[in-house]
């Protein structure tokens, strides 16, 4: 979604209730340490997540490299139908200070997501997103409106269920298409729809894949995983692989995700 739609899109609507925080046993808490590597060095980010008795995400706190709290999200869930109903979050920055906002998710009688309301700290709606779904409950149209009901952007999706892929187009309010991209419909089903540039381990995690760059080139990635005795992933290290002109491969670490589970 173009413009100021920072949080809502076909992607976020499609994957809102696809639980991917853990694979097997339900934890009470997870501490994540994520390290990203680039030409300037590395950036470390930390997150602490807690879960309700149903295993749904309840709170998430994020910390910067100095271990300072930067944001907190608190979720309200429908644990019977396993739906996220609300996300109340706070951000802390040196420039803007404290920001408090709430996202409300509204469903129809089929439990299809049909509307998302972004509210400020006073509870006033400043953006809303109207969603049209297909017969599977997947969003095919998402329109974003300002508080005055002025349309500011739209996304549309076509689904290729036999490939587990969605083709998503982003448009301006006047209908001008800004971009078109392809995404997975269900991350958990990726193993069922392998492509020549993907490989998976026996736990169903992707260990090799390729991305296409804007200039037409390709980037290759490979990943290594560790798991605890319950089958949950405790460490994921991703490497970027570059093919040199002489055909040799250069492998360099790209990012590392560590998880500590409390059951």
Predicted confidence (pLDDT) per residue in 198-247, tens digit: 899 999 899 999 887 776 777 899 999 999 999 999 999 999 998 777 77
Q: What mean pLDDT, rounded, does the chain reach?
A: 92
Is the pLDDT confidence value at 147 over 70?
yes
- C-alpha distances (whole Å) from 115 to each of 24, 104, 163, 195, 218 are 31, 8, 27, 34, 37
Q: What is the pTM of this model?
A: 0.87
Q: CA distances (Å), 39 to each of 36, 43, 45, 142, 252, in order?
A: 10, 11, 17, 37, 11
Q: Is the pLDDT of residue 14 over 90?
A: yes
Is the Cβ–Cβ distance between 74 and 57 less than 8 Å?
no
Assess contact for 158 and 140: CB atoms under 8 A. yes
Confidence of residue 110 (pLDDT cuts 50, 70, 90): very high
User: What separation in angstroms does the CA of 53 have from each of 19, 32, 49, 237, 263?
Assistant: 15, 20, 13, 30, 11
Lowest mean pLDDT, pick from 40-49, 130-139, 192-201: 192-201
Indicate whether 55 pLDDT > 60: yes
pLDDT > 60? residue 76: yes
In whole angstroms, give the CA distance from residue 72 to residue 132. 30
Q: Which residue has the higher pLDDT, 25 or 249?
A: 25
Does 96 or 71 have the greater pLDDT score? 71
Q: Give me the mean pLDDT over the 151-173 stretch.
A: 95
| pLDDT of 1 over the 80 cut | no
């Amino acid at each position: 979604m173009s413009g100021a739609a920072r949080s809502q899109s076909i992607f976020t609507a499609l994957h809102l209730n696809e639980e991917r925080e853990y694979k097997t046993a339900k934890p009470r808490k997870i501490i994540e340490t994520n390290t990203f590597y680039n030409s300037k060095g590395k950036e470390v980010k930390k997150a602490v997540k807690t879960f309700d008795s149903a295993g749904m995400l309840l709170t998430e706190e994020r910390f910067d490299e100095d271990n300072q709290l930067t944001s907190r999200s608190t979720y309200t869930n429908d644990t019977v139908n396993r739906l996220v109903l609300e996300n109340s979050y706070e951000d802390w920055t040196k420039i803007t200070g404290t920001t408090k906002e709430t996202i409300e998710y509204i469903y129809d009688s089929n439990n299809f997501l049909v509307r998302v309301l972004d509210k400020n700290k006073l509870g006033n709606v400043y953006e809303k997103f109207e969603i049209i779904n297909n017969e599977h409950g997947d969003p095919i149209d998402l329109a974003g409106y300002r508080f005055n009901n002025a349309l500011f952007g739209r996304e549309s999706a076509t689904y290729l269920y036999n490939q587990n892929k969605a083709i998503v187009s982003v448009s301006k309010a006047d209908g001008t298409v800004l971009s078109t991209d392809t995404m997975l419909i269900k991350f958990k089903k990726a193993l069922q729809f392998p492509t020549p540039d993907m490989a998976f381990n026996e736990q169903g995690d992707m260990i090799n894949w390729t991305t296409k760059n804007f200039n037409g080139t390709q980037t290759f990635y490979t990943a290594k995983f560790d798991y605890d005795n319950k089958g949950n992933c405790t460490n994921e290290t991703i490497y970027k692989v570059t093919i040199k002109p002489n055909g040799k491969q250069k492998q360099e670490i790209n990012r590392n995700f560590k998880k500590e589970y409390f059951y």
